[in-house]
């Protein structure tokens, strides 16, 4: 039926002068775009299946391939864009919810790009991190609020358990299931090598990864998949996932076809069954219930581990964070609307939640206004793309950041945003053994270590430029930021002055 | 142009201090001679002094030194003070007119004690009660500014070169066991007397040379604990941090120094176990009060003086000793001019707190 026809989004451009018909592209493409046509004696492509993941392009030995956006177009319309029209066609065809992956790609303002960082000139020397100590070690957890001394007058260590990070960057939650075994192995090993933490997400912890426990944050989410005593005790901290930036207000859905033997065992669910995380935790319908779960988990682990509560950045985030801070949580993680996901309803991903920059500024200020900022650490994610975003986040008030999309990019992700299909050609968001094998955990780990090490270098350079030689002196130091292209309301919420002020 | 407090104004500076361990009275004239040597380290936009032990006739009363912009401000402030304090003596602070010091506000001094029923109703200890009243006046009575509020100590400051400020306040008429002095080099022209140093709250006074890069992190952290940084100066925030850590949290001055100029993690790793644990605890528990960027400070307090440099020692500061007298200054010349023959002189390391207390008083700040 003609009305069903959707013109392919991309075109596969093959330079036949270069193509040697080695068929590497065919072998690499899990979407089955390429095939050899014996009659024509050359490679041909079905571009309707192409997701623009660049796997074939990257592995073509003669650089004969490129993928371009099609210039086929609907009649121009500022309101009814090609995307809007196509989505209507798709829903009219299927009657289903549109699904997407990774973070909100819509052109909303990116506040990181409207903030500028300060540097010292004349009145205060900048510090050269190659010559002087430059400290990025970060502790996450409650501050004690008051000191205690023993009979000899010595200070008693009355701190509650803390997470110690050698660099204020952690890998945020991605479940085993949504990403592959090798992706998890890469993250776990990189976290250990970097002196930071990765996060199990809601998928339990594979038995092979218990050895990385001291660098692992174990997650308890609404489906409670894979949660048991050993799991809780394996991690350095426990994260209660209340929400996710990509899909605030809804739960999760891992399709049954991804639940193979290994995932079935790790998640403690039958093979082939859909893993559905409910939208709310059904034992948390209010803040007092959250407090009970926080303390249940603390009881279960003998008060030896900090508890993180992760929430999505929604409109009332400051008040919610204040409630969380008073609930006994040691760390609040806030996930912005650009945060990634393995699968989310498109409308929710693209329309629900608020930018992390504004959420962070509002939460940090609110906690200070209430005098409780020291009772919790604040970790933000969704999305931090570079060390500059990191510096700005810390200056706005974050203790540390969570990265996930950037980490996946380091592993080879090309942001084709089709994780939900499970056919990730880069071996990341897939459970197909032949595809998973493509991600070498040795290389993956090394690339993650490289990325965070590079950011750490840049962070230190920028700190030194500001005359700051320890990260805690940058935290919440909003005078080190100036806004550009922002209106007064935005400046007020961010708590920064305009450039030139 | 925006006034001090409406805008943050960085400044470079000179500092000097003298302390008699035996508690002998040192004339204010000596500290003026010392700071005068470093004339070129200030630019005529602020100078000041703090003297300890200078009010032996009123040792048990809080001495409030106040600047007023107008009679109205004075009346309003006095009405406020009378509600909370028994004022046992009030007078203008004696000054000497000079061409070098102009545009002076009304400068008054009050010796006060909290009204007992007000104090007990407040459920606060006496010092907290006084501190809150001072912060209240400074943040809410327009044109009134209490710039000194300790017992048996006083701050004297103005816009001008420090030697002219000292002469203006007739400091030769005062004698105490400890003096600190400050010459200011702000990178702007505030023209407001309250912005000069020392900055003081209760008996804590701070003179400071430097420009801290951690300012806004420190400010936002300390403001959580009821302080209001109305001046937006480094010295103000440092004073509040010391008041919070020492008076309210109960840290010793040395411990407070380990918070503000914390040893590097590398250094901590090399410490013996108990010291290492303590240093780690202090850095971690009070992380927001780490001060970075260049500073040398002199912290005066009842019975003691602490000199402290930033962790990298980005500002000069030397300590000389002669008998029971200890001298601290930005430059050695400022010490030699008043004591050419020293027993010893040294430059303390970055982050090394030099704590000097009266022989009669053990333990310093407790």
Note whether residue A134 is domain-resident: no
Contact B220 A478 (CB under 8 A): yes
Instruction: Describe the strand order of the beta sheet including B62-68 as a list of residue ranges.
Output: B85-92, B106-114, B62-68, B144-148
Ramachandran angles phi, psi of A87, nearest 5°? -65, -35
Ramachandran angles phi, psi of A24, nearest 5°? -60, -40
Strand partners, A253: A276
**CB-based contacts of B288, cutoff 8 Å, min separation 6:** A374, A472, A475, A476, B217, B218, B220, B221
- What's the distance, Cα to Cα, between the start and end of chain A in Å? 62
Tokens of B59: 């040792």
What does each C-alpha distance from B100 to A2, B45, B256, B293 come to in angstroms? 92, 11, 38, 33
How many CA atoms lie less than 13 Å away from A71 in the CB half-sphere? 1
Across B8-17, B192-201, B311-320, the highest mean pLDDT is recorded for B311-320
Quote the crossing angle between the two packed helices B234-242 and B215-222, to the nearest 10°: 40
What does each C-alpha distance from B136 to A154, B130, B146 come to in angstroms? 35, 10, 10
* Residues of chain A numbered 151-190 and touching chain B (CB < 8 Å): 154-155, 157, 159, 162
Contact B220 A476 (CB under 8 A): yes
Cβ contacts (< 8 Å) between B251 and chain A: which residues? Answer: 147
Q: Give the number of other CB atoms < 10 A from CB of residue A41.
A: 8
At residue A403, the 3 state secondary structure works out as strand
* Residues of chain A numbered 85-144 and touching chain B (CB < 8 Å): 120, 123-125, 127, 132-133, 135, 137, 139, 143-144
Q: CA-to-CA distance for A69 and A51, rounded, in angstroms? A: 11
Q: Residue A268 pLDDT more than 60?
A: yes
Cα–Cα–Cα angle for A316, A322, A326, nearest 5°? 145
CATH classification of B13-357 is 3.60.20.10, yes or no?
Answer: yes
Give the pLDDT score at A147. 95
Q: What are the pLDDT digits (tens) for A119-155?
A: 999 888 899 999 999 999 999 999 998 999 999 999 9
Cβ contacts (< 8 Å) between B211 and chain A: which residues? Answer: 123-124, 467
Cβ contacts (< 8 Å) between A134 and chain B: which residues? Answer: none
Q: Yes or no: say if B179 and B334 are a contact pair by the CB < 8 Å rule.
A: no
DSSP string, B175-225: EESEEEEEEEEESS----GGGSS-EEETTEEEEEEE--TTHHHHHHHHGGG
Q: Is A443 found in the same domain as A342?
A: yes
What are the sequence ranges of the domains in chain B? Answer: 13-357
Q: How many domains does chain A have?
A: 2
Q: Yes or no: say if A459 and A390 are a contact pair by the CB < 8 Å rule.
A: yes
Q: Yes or no: say if B253 and B352 are a contact pair by the CB < 8 Å rule.
A: no
Q: What are the pLDDT digits (tens) for B48-101?
A: 999 999 999 999 999 999 999 999 999 999 999 999 999 999 999 999 998 999
> Ramachandran region of residue A258, left (φ > 0), alpha (ψ -120 to 50) or beta?
alpha
Contact B214 A154 (CB under 8 A): no
Note whether residue A246 is domain-resident: yes
**CB-based contacts of B180, cutoff 8 Å, min separation 6:** B15, B16, B17, B31, B49, B50, B198, B205, B207, B298, B300, B305
Q: Residue A417 pLDDT more than 70?
A: yes
Active site residue B178: no
The DSSP bridge pattern shows strands A307-312 and A331-335 to be parallel
Q: Yes or no: say if A193 and A167 are a contact pair by the CB < 8 Å rule.
A: no
Mutate to test the interface with B, among A121, A122, A124, A125 (most CBs of B within 10 A): A124
Q: CA-to-CA distance for A303 and A294, rounded, in angstroms? A: 10
Q: CA-to-CA distance for B292 and B212, rounded, in angstroms? A: 6
Please give the helix or strand (H or E) that residue A320 lies within, else none. helix A317-325
A151-155 long-range CB contacts below 8 Å, 24 or more apart?
A154/B274, A154/B278, A155/B255, A155/B278, A155/B281, A155/B282
Contact A143 B286 (CB under 8 A): yes
- Closest B-chain CA to A126: B293
Q: Yes or no: say if B28 and B173 are a contact pair by the CB < 8 Å rule.
A: yes
Mean pLDDT (chain A, rounded): 95
Contact B213 A147 (CB under 8 A): no
- Closest B-chain CA to A368: B224
Q: What are the pLDDT digits (tens) for A33-62?
A: 999 999 999 999 999 999 999 999 999 999
Q: Residue B23 pLDDT more than 80?
A: yes
Contact A480 B255 (CB under 8 A): no
- Closest B-chain CA to A131: B312
Q: Residue B191 pLDDT more than 80?
A: no
Q: Is the peptide bond before B196 cis (omega within 30 degrees of 0)?
A: no
User: How close, in Å, is residue A188 to chain B by CA atoms?
Assistant: 25
Strand partners, A198: A216
Q: CA-to-CA distance for A185 and A205, rounded, in angstroms? A: 11
Cβ contacts (< 8 Å) between B311 and chain A: which residues? Answer: 469
Q: Is A177 found in the same domain as A91?
A: no
Cβ contacts (< 8 Å) between A120 and chain B: which residues? Answer: 213
Q: Residue B274 pLDDT more than 50?
A: yes
Q: Name the residue among A125, A373, A477 with its Cβ closest to that of B294.
A: A125
Q: CA-to-CA distance for A477 and A398, rounded, in angstroms? A: 10
Mutate to test the interface with A, among B214, B219, B268 (most CBs of A within 10 A): B214
DSSP string, A257-311: GG--HHHHHHHTS-TT--EEE-SS-TT-SSHHHHHHHHHHHHHHTTT-S-EEEEE
Q: What are the pLDDT digits (tens) for A418-428?
A: 998 999 999 99
Contact B284 A124 (CB under 8 A): no
User: How close, in Å, is residue A116 to chain B by CA atoms?
Assistant: 16
Please give the helix or strand (H or E) that residue A27 lies within, else none. helix A24-28
Give the pLDDT score at A394. 98
Q: Residue B189 pLDDT more than 80?
A: no
Ramachandran angles phi, psi of A211, nearest 5°? -65, -20
CATH number of the domain where residue A268 is located: 3.20.20.70
Q: Residue B237 pLDDT more than 90?
A: yes
Burial of A160 (0-12, 13-18, 19+ CB in 10 A): middle
User: How close, in Å, is residue B75 to chain A by CA atoms?
Assistant: 32
With tokens 């007058």, the residue in question is: A153
Q: Is A172 found in the same domain as A87?
A: no
Q: CA-to-CA distance for A469 and B358, rounded, in angstroms? A: 35
Give the pLDDT score at B9. 62
Q: Residue B355 pLDDT more than 80?
A: yes
Residue A269 belongs to domain spanning: 163-459
At residue B295, the 3 state secondary structure works out as strand
Q: Yes or no: say if A168 and A400 are a contact pair by the CB < 8 Å rule.
A: yes
Give the pLDDT score at A258. 82
Note whether residue A258 is domain-resident: yes
| Residue B348: DSSP 8-state | P
Q: What are the pLDDT digits (tens) for A75-114?
A: 999 999 999 999 999 999 999 999 999 999 999 999 999 9
Give the pLDDT score at A437. 97
CATH number of the domain where residue A14 is located: 3.30.70.20
Q: What are the pLDDT digits (tens) for B330-349?
A: 999 999 999 999 999 999 99
How many CA atoms lie less than 13 Å away from B249 in the CB half-sphere? 24
Contact A147 B311 (CB under 8 A): no
Burial of B363 (0-12, 13-18, 19+ CB in 10 A): exposed
Note whether residue A215 is domain-resident: yes
Q: Is A170 found in the same domain as A92?
A: no
Q: Yes or no: say if B238 and B205 are a contact pair by the CB < 8 Å rule.
A: no
Contact A476 B217 (CB under 8 A): yes
Q: Name the residue among A123, A144, A472 with its Cβ closest to that of B187.
A: A123
Torsion angle of C-alpha atoms B279, B282, B287, B288, degrees rounded to 10: -130
Torsion angle of C-alpha atoms A331, A337, A343, A344, degrees rounded to 10: 120
Give the pLDDT score at B42. 81
Contact A374 B288 (CB under 8 A): yes
Q: Name the residue among B224, B285, B290 with its Cβ closest to that of A159.
A: B285
Helix ranges restricted to H, chain B: 28-36, 71-84, 116-122, 126-140, 162-168, 215-222, 234-242, 253-260, 265-269, 273-285, 332-336
Tokens of A274: 């859909």
With tokens 């994260």, the residue in question is: A239
Mutate to test the interface with A, among B208, B217, B244 (most CBs of A within 10 A): B217
Give the pLDDT score at B366. 38
Contact A123 B213 (CB under 8 A): no
Torsion angle of C-alpha atoms A451, A453, A456, A460, degrees rounded to 10: -130
The DSSP bridge pattern shows strands B26-27 and B175-176 to be antiparallel
Q: What percent of chain B has pLDDT over 70?
A: 94
């Amino acid at each position: 039926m003609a009305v069903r026809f959707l013109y392919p989004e991309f075109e596969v451009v093959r330079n036949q002068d270069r193509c040697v018909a080695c068929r590497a592209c065919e072998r690499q493409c899990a979407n089955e775009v390429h095939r050899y046509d014996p009659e024509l004696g050359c490679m041909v492509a079905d571009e309707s299946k192409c997701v623009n993941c660049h796997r074939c392009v990257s592995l073509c030995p003669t650089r004969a391939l490129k993928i371009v956006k099609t210039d086929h177009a609907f009649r121009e319309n500022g309101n009814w864009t090609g995307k809007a029209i196509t989505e209507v066609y798709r829903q009219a065809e299927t009657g289903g919810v549109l699904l997407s992956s990774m973070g909100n790609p819509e052109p909303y303002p990116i506040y990181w790009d409207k903030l500028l960082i300060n540097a010292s000139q004349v009145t205060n020397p900048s510090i050269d991190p190659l010559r002087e100590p430059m400290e990025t070690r970060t502790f996450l957890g409650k501050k004690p609020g008051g000191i205690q001394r023993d009979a000899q007058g010595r200070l008693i260590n009355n701190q509650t358990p803390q997470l110690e990070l050698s660099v204020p960057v952690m890998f945020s939650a991605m479940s085993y299931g949504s990403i592959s075994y090798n992706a998890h192995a890469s993250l776990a090993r990189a976290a250990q090598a970097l002196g930071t933490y990765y996060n199990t997400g809601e998928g339990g912890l594979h038995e092979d990864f218990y050895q990385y426990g001291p660098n692992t944050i174990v997650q308890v989410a609404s489906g409670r998949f894979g949660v048991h005593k050993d799991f809780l005790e394996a991690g350095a901290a426990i994260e209660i996932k209340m929400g996710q930036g990509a899909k605030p207000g809804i739960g999760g859905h891992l399709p049954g076809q991804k639940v193979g033997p290994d995932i079935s065992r790790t998640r403690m669910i039958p093979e082939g069954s859909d893993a559905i995380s409910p939208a709310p935790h059904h034992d948390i319908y209010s803040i007092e219930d959250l407090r009970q779960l926080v303390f249940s988990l603390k009881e279960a682990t003998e008060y030896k581990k900090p508890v993180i509560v992760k929430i999505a950045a929604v409109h009332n985030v400051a008040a919610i964070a204040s409630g969380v801070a008073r609930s006994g949580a040691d760390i609040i993680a806030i996930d912005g609307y650009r945060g990634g996901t393995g699968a989310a309803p498109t409308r929710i991903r693209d329309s629900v939640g608020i930018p992390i920059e504004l959420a962070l500024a509002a939460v940090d200020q609110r906690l200070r206004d209430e005098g409780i900022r020291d009772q919790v650490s604040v970790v933000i994610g969704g999305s931090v793309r570079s060390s500059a975003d990191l510096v700005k986040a810390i200056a706005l008030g974050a203790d540390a950041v969570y990265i996930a999309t950037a980490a996946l990019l380091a592993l080879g992700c090309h942001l084709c945003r089709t994780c939900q299909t499970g056919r990730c050609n880069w071996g990341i968001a897939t459970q197909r053994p032949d595809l998973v094998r493509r991600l070498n955990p040795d290389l993956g780990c090394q690339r993650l270590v490289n990325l965070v090490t590079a950011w750490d270098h840049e962070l230190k350079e920028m700190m030194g430029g500001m005359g700051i030689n320890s990260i805690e002196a940058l935290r919440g130091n909003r005078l080190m930021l100036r806004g550009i292209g922002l209106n007064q309301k935005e400046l007020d919420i961010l708590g920064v002055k305009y450039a030139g002020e | 142009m925006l006034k001090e407090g409406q805008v943050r104004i960085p400044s470079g500076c000179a500092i000097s201090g003298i302390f008699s361990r035996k508690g002998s009275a040192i004339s204010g004239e000596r500290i003026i001679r010392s700071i005068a040597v470093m004339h070129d380290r200030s630019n005529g936009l602020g100078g000041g002094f703090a003297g300890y032990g200078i009010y032996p006739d009123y040792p048990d009363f809080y001495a409030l030194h106040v600047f007023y912009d107008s009679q109205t401000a004075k009346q309003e402030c006095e009405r406020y003070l009378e509600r909370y304090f028994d004022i046992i003596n009030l007078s203008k602070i004696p000054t000497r007119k000079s061409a070098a010091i102009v545009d002076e506000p009304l400068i008054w001094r009050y010796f006060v004690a909290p009204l007992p029923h007000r104090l007990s109703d407040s459920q606060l200890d006496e010092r907290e009660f006084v501190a809150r009243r001072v912060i209240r006046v400074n943040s809410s009575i327009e044109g009134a500014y209490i710039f000194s509020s300790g017992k048996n100590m006083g701050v004297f400051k103005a816009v001008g070169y420090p030697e002219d400020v000292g002469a203006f306040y007739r400091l030769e008429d005062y004698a105490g066991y400890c003096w600190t002095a400050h010459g200011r080099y702000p990178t702007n022209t505030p023209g407001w007397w309250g912005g000069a140093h020392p900055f003081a709250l209760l008996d804590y006074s701070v003179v400071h040379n430097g420009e801290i890069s951690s300012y806004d992190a420190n400010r936002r952290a300390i403001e959580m604990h009821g302080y209001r940084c109305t001046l937006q100066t480094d010295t103000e925030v440092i004073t509040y941090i010391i008041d919070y850590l020492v008076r309210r949290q109960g840290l010793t001055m040395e411990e407070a120094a380990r918070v503000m100029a914390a040893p590097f993690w590398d250094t901590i790793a090399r410490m013996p176990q108990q010291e290492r644990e303590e240093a780690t605890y202090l850095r971690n528990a009070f992380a927001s009060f780490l001060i970075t960027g260049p500073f040398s400070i002199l912290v005066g307090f009842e019975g003691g003086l602490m000199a402290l440099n930033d962790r990298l020692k980005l500002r000069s500061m030397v300590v000389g000793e002669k008998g029971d007298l200890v001298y601290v200054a930005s430059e050695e010349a400022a010490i030699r001019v008043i004591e050419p023959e020293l027993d010893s002189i040294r430059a303390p390391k970055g982050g090394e707190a030099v704590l000097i207390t009266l022989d009669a008083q053990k333990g310093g700040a407790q």
